Amino acid sequence: MNDPATAPPRDVLPGARRSTPFYAARVVVSGALAHGRASGSARSSDGGLALELRLPSELGGDASGPNPEQLAAAALAASLHAELALVARQHMLDPVPITVEATVTVGPDPSDDGYLLRAEVEVTWPGIPRVTADRLLARAVARCPYAKTAGGGVPAAVALAPEQRDGQA
């Protein structure tokens, strides 16, 4: 497999800006009985992530494992928290009390037959004047890659993998 950090994109959505990444995470999802979302596994190439995906009870699943919306919410909250902590330290403020709660929902996309995600984030920053917290939150959101993604769509390269000689994709 090509290293995603050095491989040229096969197809990039219009409007996507190209940059040189300093980290690339590779995760493979495979399905079991139905599809990866309902009964699959997700494994990272470095072994740091290994989990069984399950449908939430609201979608008819047993909720016995994480689902993609939970993973997206965790990624958004963690990334924004990191940016807030950085901004806080730059202003000599204690980042420890900051909490970030992200909610990611999935529902029908009214523009087609597909689905649409929506993210809502609530930040709690006790002990800081609201006007200061609002200003620093805006700076953190402007820097946060996951907030940028949630707010403007995800530039993505999506294509079939090259055919393998043994007939497997």
Task: Give me the CATH number covering residue 80.
Answer: 3.30.300.20
CA distance 154 to 12: 10
Indicate if 62 and 105 belong to the same structural domain: no
Q: Are residues 81 and 43 in the same domain?
A: no
% residues pLDDT > 70 (the chain): 77
> Tokens for 31?
């399905």
Q: How far apart are CA 7 and CA 3, in angstroms?
A: 6
Question: E strands along the chain, which residues?
Answer: 27-30, 41-44, 50-52, 99-108, 115-124
Provide mean pLDDT across the span 72-98. Answer: 95
User: Nearest Cα to 77, choosing from 146, 151, 152?
Assistant: 146
pLDDT attached to residue 81 = 96
Q: For 124-137, write each residue's pLDDT tens digit.
A: 999 999 999 999 99
Q: Which residues contact 95 (CB under 8 A, 6 or more apart)?
A: 84, 85, 88, 89
Range of the domain at 46: 23-66
Longest CA–CA span in the chain (Å) reads: 63
91 in any annotated domain:
yes
**pLDDT at 34 (0 to 100):** 60
Model pLDDT, residue 11: 47
**What value does the mean pLDDT take over residues 145-168?**
68
Q: For residue 7, what pLDDT band results from cuts at 50, 70 and 90?
A: very low
Q: Do you know the residue count of the chain?
A: 169
What is residue 14's predicted lDDT score, i.e. its pLDDT? 52
Select the more confidently predicted residue: 77 or 1.
77
The whole-angstrom separation of Cα 35 and Cα 64 is: 16
Residue 69 in tokens: 């919306």
Distance of CA 163 to the CA centre of its chain: 28
CATH code for position 60: 2.20.25
Indicate whether 57 and 72 sit together in one domain.
no
Tokens matching residue 97? 């009390």
Residue 98 in tokens: 């900051």
Average pLDDT, the chain: 83
Q: Is residue 163 part of a domain?
A: no
Quick: pLDDT tens for 105-115. 888 988 898 88
Q: Where would I find the H helices in 40-129?
A: 68-90
Measured CA to CA in angstroms, residue 3 lies from 25, 137, 141 at distances of 10, 34, 29
Confidence of residue 33 (pLDDT cuts 50, 70, 90): low
pLDDT bucket at 98, cuts 50 / 70 / 90: very high
